[in-house]
Amino acid sequence: MNYKTLNEQLLSLSEASRNWMPLLANASALIYQTMEGLNWAGFYLVKDDSLLLGPFQGKTACVCIPKGKGVCGSAYEKDEVQRVEDVHKFPGHIACDSASNSEIVIPIHHQDEVVAVLDIDSPLFSRFSVEDEEGLKCFVKTLEEIIEW
């Protein structure tokens, strides 16, 4: 997986608009069509201390996730990347799509606060490596620098 190219593609997508809506919509499509072995890629946005479903690719998903609940809610509450090799062993995991077996969630910041998370699911166990985590953190950093909320 070439994360340098993924970053360049994100930057070129942002040339038309840096508004969060089209940028997150295209970012989810970019990840979903570029990374192999995924069944869901998208964003949850912080609203009233919970996570609200944002732009995504994949099957319909849970609309609202409380802070601290599941993989996404934990990433939000702890402000930490969650890289989960087997979601069935994760306490409180929310199964939106029963096909999901591994997951990675990366917090997104604005003015030092978590304002959203990037959530990616796979039907494969242990789909996401340390290298994927580093590459996706870099992708999110670029997003944080260019996005207009």
In this structure, the chain runs to a length of 149
Among the candidate windows 12-20, 27-35, 96-104, 133-141, which touches ligand SME by CB under 6 A?
96-104
- The reply on whether position 62 binds ligand SME by CB under 6 A is yes
Q: Which residues of 27-54 are buried (b: 16+ CB within 10 A; e: fewer)?
A: bbbbbbeebeebbbbbbbbbeeebbebb
Nearest to 129 by CA among 32, 137, 107: 137
Cα dist from 13 to 19, 37, 95, 97, 147, whole Å = 11, 23, 31, 29, 11
Interface mask (CB under 6 A) for ligand SME, residues 2-41, using x and -? --------------------------------------x-
Nearest to ligand SME of 52, 62 (CB atom)? 62
Nearest to ligand SME of 14, 96 (CB atom)? 96
Q: How far apart are CA 19 and CA 87, in angstroms?
A: 32
Interface mask (CB under 6 A) for ligand SME, residues 69-88, using x and -? -xxxx---------------
Nearest to ligand SME of 14, 74 (CB atom)? 74
- 31's CB contacts (< 8 A; 6+ apart) are 6, 38, 41, 57, 118, 120, 139
- 113's CB contacts (< 8 A; 6+ apart) are 46
Give the total of residues touching ligand SME (CB under 6 A): 15
Interface mask (CB under 6 A) for ligand SME, residues 98-137, using x and -? --x--x---------------x-x----------------
Applying CB under 6 A, the residues found at the interface with ligand SME are: 40, 61-62, 65, 70-73, 93-94, 96, 100, 103, 119, 121
